[in-house]
Amino acid sequence: MESRFKIFSDPVHGFISVPKDELMPLIQTPEVQRLRRIRQLGVGHLVFPGAEHTRFAHALGAMALMQDALAVLTEKGTPVSPEEHSAALAVALLHDIGHGPFSHTLEHELIGNFRHELMSRTLLTVLNERFGGSLDLALALFDGTYERPFFSQLLASQLDMDRLDYLRRDSFHTGVVEGRVGVERIIKTLRVHPTDGGPDSRVVIEEKGIYAVENFILSRQLMYWQVYLHKTVLAGDHLLRSILQRVRAQIDRGRSHVVQAGSPDLLFFLERRLDRSALDEPDTLHHFCALDDTDLFYSLKQWAQAPDPVLADLCRRFVERAFFRVRFLEEPPPATRLGVWYDQIGTWLTKQGLSPAEAEAVAPLYLTQGRTHLRGYQDTHEQAIAVVDRQGRLRELSRTTDTPAISAVSSRVVKPYICFPKEVELVSGER
């Protein structure tokens, strides 16, 4: 009478059936449960009130789509062994396990040269040891070294289960209907194609799926402009980085007591200059796995009452969502103009009570620069999405569509911007 599956009720995909024996022990690890406390969109929830969804829900969703994709491929004649099936589901579930809180914002602030993929791999190894090597194949899929490369393509490519889930999910929770993607149709038109000698080396799209894929690429582009690169999101990111830089500066000056009220797991990283070489050390892992969004918010709330007026101001702004303003520029500001602006910010800071020296030191926390990068589609040979027609011939996606829209979004768009307090009117801005 006991079911083989544990069922999760997911607002995006409906019911998700998780094989109890293979997957539930992984889901019940502290490392995966931690993802329940890390929001998928970082500061995005401060712009889109419904976007509180977590990396845990996304991990489940990616796993569910992997199930669907494998069922489709099997149905079309590509055999998948039980071991491969388990490993593919496991790696879909675990692919983002190395994310920390506000990951895209903070990863370089906490550990130098960090990339979450490195931490994901490290934690996969840790889990593999804990589970007696049962994740060997999952690791190979993660590394892309398995002899049937299509599994890895389902996991990490321009049209993988990760992207399909997060776009659908982020669109759902933000209410940005422009990002809605026909996930079901895309998955139904997947196929494994025997190219380049290998027995089944490549995931391709059937011709009838090209409009759904075209829509996926254009919708992803719109989600970037409307959500991921939303001005207020960028502003929140910059504020968070300024805060952590201020904390580090205080510690460097021997003023650790100013920030001690914060989370010790967060301070572990701020008190050190770790880089990626530290990833394997037990201490790093221990504190990293203890860290989640609550440490950040808890610390910010504490620091909002810190004796350092700069830190307190920055933290209060974050907690009360009084972000800076973002202004896009036609091109990066020349050094002279930047100098003028820093002077303006400095003057304003002294009016807030800072000494001239302190104001000058702090100005780079109140006026920051950045650039958004976006490339909608990579049409280069290795990355491109391949379409197969009824005769079995492959063509690159942008050559099969009836409109030039896909080609058009294949070039990179870069937009420089600056970020500064709304209270200051910088001279000679544009738009």
Other C-beta atoms lying within 10 Å of the C-beta of residue 332: 15
- Closer Cβ to a copy of itself, 254 or 431, answer by number: 431
CA distance 46 to 44: 5
Residues numbered 262-291 forming contacts with a copy of itself, rule: CB under 8 A = 263, 290
Residues numbered 122-181 forming contacts with a copy of itself, rule: CB under 8 A = 172-178, 180-181
CA distance 214 to 395: 14
Q: If binding means CB under 8 A, how many residues of this protein chain bind a copy of itself?
A: 89
Name the minimum Å distance from CB 273 to a copy of itself: 25
- Helix, strand, or coil (residue 191): strand
- Closer Cβ to a copy of itself, 98 or 101, answer by number: 101
**Does 293 help bind a copy of itself (rule: CB under 8 A)?**
yes
**Does 108 help bind a copy of itself (rule: CB under 8 A)?**
no
Name the minimum Å distance from CB 45 to a copy of itself: 7
- Closer Cβ to a copy of itself, 123 or 181, answer by number: 181
Q: What does the per-residue mask of binding to a copy of itself show for 9-38, with x meaning CB under 8 A?
A: xxxx-xx-x----------x-x--x--xx-
Is residue 105 within 8 Å of residue 318, measured between CB atoms? no
Please provide the distance, in angstroms rounded to a whole number, between the alpha carbons at the two ends of the chain: 65
Choice from 298, 360, 396, 424 touching a copy of itself (CB under 8 A): 298
Angle 386-227-114 from CA coordinates, rounded to 5°: 75
Angle 31-36-39 from CA coordinates, rounded to 5°: 115
Compute the chain's Rg from CA coordinates: 24
Residues numbered 388-417 forming contacts with a copy of itself, rule: CB under 8 A = 388-392, 402-405, 407-409, 411, 413, 415
Chain-centre distance of CA 136, in angstroms? Answer: 25
Of 132-140, 157-165, 247-255, 386-394, the segment contacting a copy of itself by CB under 8 A is 386-394
Residues numbered 74-103 forming contacts with a copy of itself, rule: CB under 8 A = 75-76
Is residue 202 within 8 Å of residue 192, measured between CB atoms? yes
Contacts of 164 (CB under 8 A, 6+ apart): 65, 181, 183, 186, 187, 216
Residue 4 per-residue DSSP state: S
Instruction: Please name the residue that has the structure tokens 């980085």.
Output: 241
Is residue 261 within 8 Å of residue 306, measured between CB atoms? yes
- Closer Cβ to a copy of itself, 174 or 284, answer by number: 174
Name the minimum Å distance from CB 75 to a copy of itself: 7
Name the minimum Å distance from CB 65 to a copy of itself: 14
**Does 255 help bind a copy of itself (rule: CB under 8 A)?**
no
Residues numbered 345-384 forming contacts with a copy of itself, rule: CB under 8 A = 374, 376
- Closer Cβ to a copy of itself, 185 or 337, answer by number: 185
Chain-centre distance of CA 261, in angstroms? Answer: 29
Residues numbered 190-219 forming contacts with a copy of itself, rule: CB under 8 A = 206, 208, 211-212, 214-215, 218-219
